[in-house]
Every structure is written in structure tokens, then in C-alpha cells.
């Protein structure tokens, strides 16, 4: 999978184009940074880090994410912690699970989504159960 990284200070934004559903959230929310017609299309110097972070967290597909900063502490045994899931339902759009998650598919296979996932609510996605932005053109209201 293609991944591109854009850095400003200690913030690195990761873009995975295969995950993008072209929701336009990024360039509607922060057009001075996210410019799809320009190269590079992410221009980190055009806004402050918090604005960029907020916009990346609003990405419904997970195509944009924040690269975790390396820990200054040595690796230890991981604790078994089950963080509370955060789910956002977009008006006339998908259900978005924010944060890393594992999805158990109907056939029993497990799909790992490190940056969250958007699930289709309209039934029109060609990539069910995942959203592909079909709701934008099929008249879904919900």
C-alpha cells in the first residue's frame, strides 16, 4: 500500500491514497493545507499543528492519519488495555470508528484498521462493509 508522509515539527501526517473516499473533509476544513490540485498536495507550512491535527482526525476514511511519535522509553510488555471505542455517525454518510480496531468479517477473517474505519450505511458501497462514498451520489438520507 502506498503511504506518503508530510512533516511539520514533531507532527507527521500519513496519507494512504487507497483508503481515500474523496469525502472532501480535509480540503473543505483546511483548504490552505490540503490542496488536491497542487504537488505536493499537503502543504504543512500553511497552518498550525493543532489545525492540521484536528482536520486529520476528521478524515472519515482514515486515509489521513497521524504517525505516532517514537517513545523515549524502552519497550516493555504491553498492558492488556481495552480503550473505549469512539464512533461517529455522519449525517447522510457512513459510521466512523475512530482509532485502531480489528474487524471480524462474516467469513471469520480479521481485518486490522490502524487508523479507524468508515462503514457503509447506504448499502451502495462496492466495498461492503466499508464506505466508498457511494452515499454522495445515490441519494442516501439517514
Q: Considering the domain boundaries, does residue 130 fall inside one?
A: yes
Do both 60 and 96 map to the same domain? Answer: no
The predicted pLDDT at position 110 comes to 84
Do both 10 and 44 map to the same domain? Answer: yes
Tell me which residue has cell 490552505.
Answer: 32
Do both 100 and 59 map to the same domain? Answer: no
Do both 62 and 98 map to the same domain? Answer: no
Return left, alpha or beta for 139; rule: phi > 0 is left, psi -120 to 50 is alpha, else beta: left
Tens of pLDDT along 30-67?
999 999 999 999 999 999 999 999 999 888 888 898 88
Q: Quick check: 138 pLDDT over 90?
A: yes
Q: What is the pTM of this model?
A: 0.65
- Residue span of the structural domain in which 96 resides: 86-136
Tens of pLDDT along 5-28?
999 999 999 998 888 888 888 999
Among residues 101, 115, 8, 131, the alpha carbon closest in space to that of 65 is found at: 115
Q: Into how many domains does the chain fold?
A: 2
Q: Considering the domain boundaries, does residue 78 fall inside one?
A: no
Do both 56 and 100 map to the same domain? Answer: no
Q: Considering the domain boundaries, does residue 72 fall inside one?
A: no
The predicted pLDDT at position 129 comes to 94
Do both 11 and 49 map to the same domain? Answer: yes
Q: Quick check: 78 pLDDT over 70?
A: no
Q: Considering the domain boundaries, does residue 33 fall inside one?
A: yes
CATH code of the domain containing 16: 3.30.70.20
| 122 neighbors 129 (Cβ within 8 angstroms) | no
| 87 neighbors 95 (Cβ within 8 angstroms) | yes
Q: d(Cα 132, Cα 37) in Å, to the nearest integer? A: 21
Amino acid at each position: 500500500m502506498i503511504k506518503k508522509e508530510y512533516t511539520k515539527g514533531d507532527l507527521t501526517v500519513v496519507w494512504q491514497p487507497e483508503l481515500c473516499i474523496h469525502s472532501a473533509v480535509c480540503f473543505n476544513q483546511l483548504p490552505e493545507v490540503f490542496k488536491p490540485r497542487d504537488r505536493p498536495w499537503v502543504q504543512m507550512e500553511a497552518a498550525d499543528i493543532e489545525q492540521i491535527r484536528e482536520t486529520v482526525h476528521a478524515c472519515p476514511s482514515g486515509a489521513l492519519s497521524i504517525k505516532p511519535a517514537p517513545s523515549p522509553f524502552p519497550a516493555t510488555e504491553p498492558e492488556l488495555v481495552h480503550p473505549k471505542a469512539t464512533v461517529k455517525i455522519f449525517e447522510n454518510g457512513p459510521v466512523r470508528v475512530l482509532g485502531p480496531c480489528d474487524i471480524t468479517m462474516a467469513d471469520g477473517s480479521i481485518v486490522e484498521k490502524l487508523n479507524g474505519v468508515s462503514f457503509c450505511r447506504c448499502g451502495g458501497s462496492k466495498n461492503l462493509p466499508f464506505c466508498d462514498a457511494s452515499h454522495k451520489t445515490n441519494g442516501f438520507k439517514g
